[in-house]
Structure 1
Amino acid sequence: METGTQSNDTVLTFGELLLRICPDASGNWLESSSLPVYVGGAELNVATALALWNVKTKYFTAMPDNSLSEQIINYVAERGIDTSAIHKGAGRQGLFYLTSGADMKHDAVIYDRAGSAFAELKPGVIDWDQVLTGVSWFHFSAICPALTQQTADLCEEVLIAASKRNITISIDLNYRAKLWKYGKEPEQIMPRLVKYCNMVMGNVWAAESLLGIPVSPQLTDSDTKENYLAEALSSSKKIMERFPACRTVANTFRFDDKGGIKYYTALYQDGQLYNSADYTADTVIDKVGSGDCFMAGLIYGYQEKMEPLATLSFATAAAFEKLFIKGDATQSTVDEITKAIKNDN
C-alpha cells in the first residue's frame, strides 16, 4: 500500500486536457499509418501523479460532448481521478504535436488548440461553488490564460471563487511563447491571477517573462549553482513582495548539454531558501511532464505535512525520475521516488 494522505481534503487541478500526437522526425509514421498518442495536459499530469500517490484528486476541464471524450474521461477515471467536474460543451478536442527524433533538442512543438471546448468555455457557465466543494487545494498553470482573453477571464473567475473559500492556490509559471497570440503581453494578464496564489512554481526566466521580475543580466556569465540559487532567492523575494498572498516560491533549474541533463531545484519559504541535490544523466527518454511531476511532488509534500526540505527533495526526485518514463505523466510510486532521493545538497 502506498503512503498517501489520509484526510478527506481534495486537490483540484484546472486546465485543458490535451492529446499529444508524436510523429517521428524521419516521417516513418506516414508509411506505417500510425501515430503515438498520449493523454496529457499540464494540470492533468499533476492530477495523475497525485492520484497515483494516493492523494484525493479531482480534475476540471472542458471537452466536446462526444464518444471520444467519453473514452478519454474513462481513461482518466481509471487512474483514480474524480472526473465528475469535467464540463462537456461546444468546440473540439485540443491537440499538440511533438515531433521527436534521436536528438531531443530538435523536438518541434505545434499547437492545435484554437476553438477547443476549453478555449470556448465562457465565464458565468460553471457553478464553481459546486465544483470546489470539498476542495482544499486548487492548482492551475500559466498555460490556461495564454490561450485567449476569455480563458484568462475564466481563470480569474475560478480563482476568486477559490480564494473566497480559503482554498490553497498554486500556479505553475509555464511560459509558452507560441500560445500568447491574442494581443496581450503576459505581464498584462498574469499579475492579476498570481495575486490569488499561495504557491508559485516555475523558474527565474518564466517569472521575468510572465510577471516582469527581472533576471540579472550577468546570470549566465557566472554559470554556477551558487549564482543560480542566489538569483532564485532574489526572484522569490520579489515575487512575495509583489504578491502578499504568496507564501512559497519554488524554482527549477534544468540545463541540457549534448543530450544529457543537469537538474536541481530551490524552494523559498519563511525567509529561508532550501535547495536540492544535483541530478545528472547522460540521456533522457521523455522531457514532457517533468515540471508537472515536480509540481505534484510539492503538493504531495504539503498535503502530507512534510518539512520544506523533505518536500523539495521528494518533488525533485519525482521530476528527475519522470525524465526516464515515456508519456506525459509519471508512473513512479512514492516508494520508488523516495529511494531515488539524493541528499548531498
Structure 2
Amino acid sequence: MTIDVMTFGESMAMFYANEAGELHEASSFSKALAGAETNVAVGLARLGFRIGWMSKVGDDSLGTFILNELKKERVDISEVKRTAGRQTGILLKSKVENGDPDVTYYRKGSAASTMSIHDYPAEYFKQARHMHMTGIPPALSKDMKEFTHHAVQQMKKDGKTISFDPNLRFQLWPDQQTMVHTINEIAVQSDWFLPGISEGKLLTGFNTPEEIAEFYLNQGVKLIVVKLGKEGAYYRTAEKDGYVPGYAVEKVVDTVGAGDGFAVGIISGLLDRLPLEEAVQRANAIGALAVMAPGDMEGLPSRDQLKDFMTALGNNQKIGG
C-alpha cells in the first residue's frame, strides 16, 4: 500500500456536553473522536488521500471505538497497537454558543503515551510521501518525545516532506521554557511550519507575521504560514510572501479543530500541486467550515463540499452560521 500522508499521535474519546454552560453543570454528554492528528487524517481522507495513522490505544471499549471510527473514515490503522493494562485517553468538552469551549483531559499514563522508538514502523513510514505532525506528542511523555524526534530524523533521511503544527497545549508541558525549546527544536527541522499568530509570538518573541516567518526561514524552514484567524493567513518562502484574506464567519460555533482544518487545506493543496496562494486560500476555507460546525471534525468537507463552498463564496463574504 502506498500512503500519501503519514501522521501519529494520540486519539481520545471525547465526551461533549449536550447543553451550553459550564462543564461542571452538564448533565448529559455525547461521544465522538478527538485528537489533532486524527482530525487532519480524517480531513485528508475525506478529500481522497490515502492516510496512515500510527499510535497506541488501550485494549478497552474506547480503544475499539476509536479504531472503528477511523476505519469508517478510511484511515489506515494497520500499525496501531493495542496495549493491555493502559487506558485510552478521554477528554470532556463544554458546549458554547460561540468561542472557545472548556476542555478537560484525562490522558496521563494513557496507552498512546507509552509509544517509544521501539514501536516505530520504519517501512510503514517510509512508503509515505509526506508526514504531518503536531507539538502534542512530544508533550505527552519522554518516550513520545523520543519517538517524535526519531520520526523526524528518519523521514528527513528518506527525503520526505514534513509539515508541523505547533498546536500548543500549555497544560501538557512542565513549563513554558521547555515547551518553547522543544517546539522550536522540531519546527526548524520541518519543511512547512504552520503556527497561529499568538503561538508565533510566544515561540519567537516577535510580534508580526513577517518577523515570525523570517525567524524560521533563516533557520531552514522552506514554508511558513502564520494563521491569523478571521483575517486569513500570511505565507512566506525564500522566493515570495503575501497575505491571503480569510472567509468572514457570521457565527463561530466551535473553534476546536479550526487549525487542524487549516492544516488539511495546506497539505492537500500542496500535494495537489496548487499554487501556494491557492493552497492557503483552501486552508482558510476549510478552517472557516470547521468553526461553523460543532465538534472537532464535523465541518471537514469532501472535495465536492469544498468546491461548492469556495465557488459560492468569495473571500470576505459573510457566511451565515
Structures share fold, TM-score greater than 0.5: yes
* Equivalent AA in structure 1 for residue 112 of structure 2: F
Corresponding residue for residue 335 of structure 1: 304
**Normalising to structure 1: TM-score of the pair?**
0.83
Give 1:141 shift: 0.3
Return the match for 1:307 from 248, 257, 275.
Answer: 275
Report 1:248-263 matches (<5 A). 248-254=223-229, 262-263=230-231
Instruction: Give the 3 Å change call, closer, same or farther, for CA 299–39 of structure 1 in structure 2.
Output: same
How many angstroms apart in 1 are the aligned matches of 2:238 and 2:5? 23
Give 1:122 shift: 2.6
Q: Do structure 1's residue 97 and structure 2's residue 92 form an aligned pair?
A: yes
How many angstroms apart in 2 are the aligned matches of 1:205 and 1:321? 21
Corresponding residue for residue 233 of structure 1: 210
How many angstroms apart in 2 are the aligned matches of 1:9 and 1:297? 18
- Judge which range, 306-315 or 200-209, deviates more: 200-209
Report 1:153-192 matches (<5 A). 153-181=146-174, 185-192=178-185
Q: Do structure 1's residue 79 and structure 2's residue 54 form an aligned pair?
A: no
Give 1:29 shift: 4.2
The answer to whether the 8 Å contact 1:274/1:308 transfers is no
How many angstroms apart in 1 are the aligned matches of 2:314 and 2:45? 26
Give 1:68 shift: 3.5
For structure 1, list consecutive stretches of 5 or more residues without a partner in the other structure: 1-6, 217-230, 255-261
Instruction: Give the 3 Å change call, closer, same or farther, for CA 203–104 of structure 1 in structure 2.
Output: closer
Corresponding residue for residue 70 of structure 1: 64
Return the match for 1:269 from 231, 234, 237.
Answer: 237
SS in structure 2 at match of 1:306? coil
Instruction: Give the 3 Å change call, closer, same or farther, for CA 183–289 of structure 1 in structure 2.
Output: closer
- The total of aligned residue pairs comes to 309
Q: Do structure 1's residue 215 and structure 2's residue 206 form an aligned pair?
A: yes
Give 1:65 shift: 2.2
Instruction: Give the 3 Å change call, closer, same or farther, for CA 87–272 of structure 1 in structure 2.
Output: same
SS in structure 2 at match of 1:10? strand
Instruction: Summarize deviations over 1:176-225 as a string: whole Å, max 9, x none.
Output: 1111127962133223322321110012321343x4x1223xxxxxxxxx
Runs of 4+, deviation exceeding 4 Å: 26-29, 342-345
SS in structure 1 at match of 2:164? strand
Instruction: Give the 3 Å change call, closer, same or farther, for CA 312–183 of structure 1 in structure 2.
Output: closer
Corresponding residue for residue 319 of structure 2: none
Corresponding residue for residue 225 of structure 1: none
RMSD, matched Cα:
2.2
Corresponding residue for residue 11 of structure 1: 5
Corresponding residue for residue 228 of structure 1: none
For structure 2, list consecutive stretches of 5 or more residues without a partner in the other structure: 317-321
SS in structure 1 at match of 2:119? coil
Give 1:94 shift: 1.1
* Equivalent AA in structure 1 for residue 306 of structure 2: I
Return the match for 1:278 from 228, 238, 246.
Answer: 246
SS in structure 2 at match of 1:279? coil
* Equivalent AA in structure 2 for residue 104 of structure 1: G
Instruction: Summarize deviations over 1:229-270 as a string: whole Å, max 9, x none.
Output: xx212211111112x1x211111112xxxxxxx341122123
Give 1:301 shift: 0.6
Return the match for 2:286 from 318, 327, 332.
Answer: 318
* Equivalent AA in structure 2 for residue 131 of structure 1: Y
Instruction: Give the 3 Å change call, closer, same or farther, for CA 196–168 of structure 1 in structure 2.
Output: same
* Equivalent AA in structure 2 for residue 247 of structure 1: K
SS in structure 2 at match of 1:104? coil
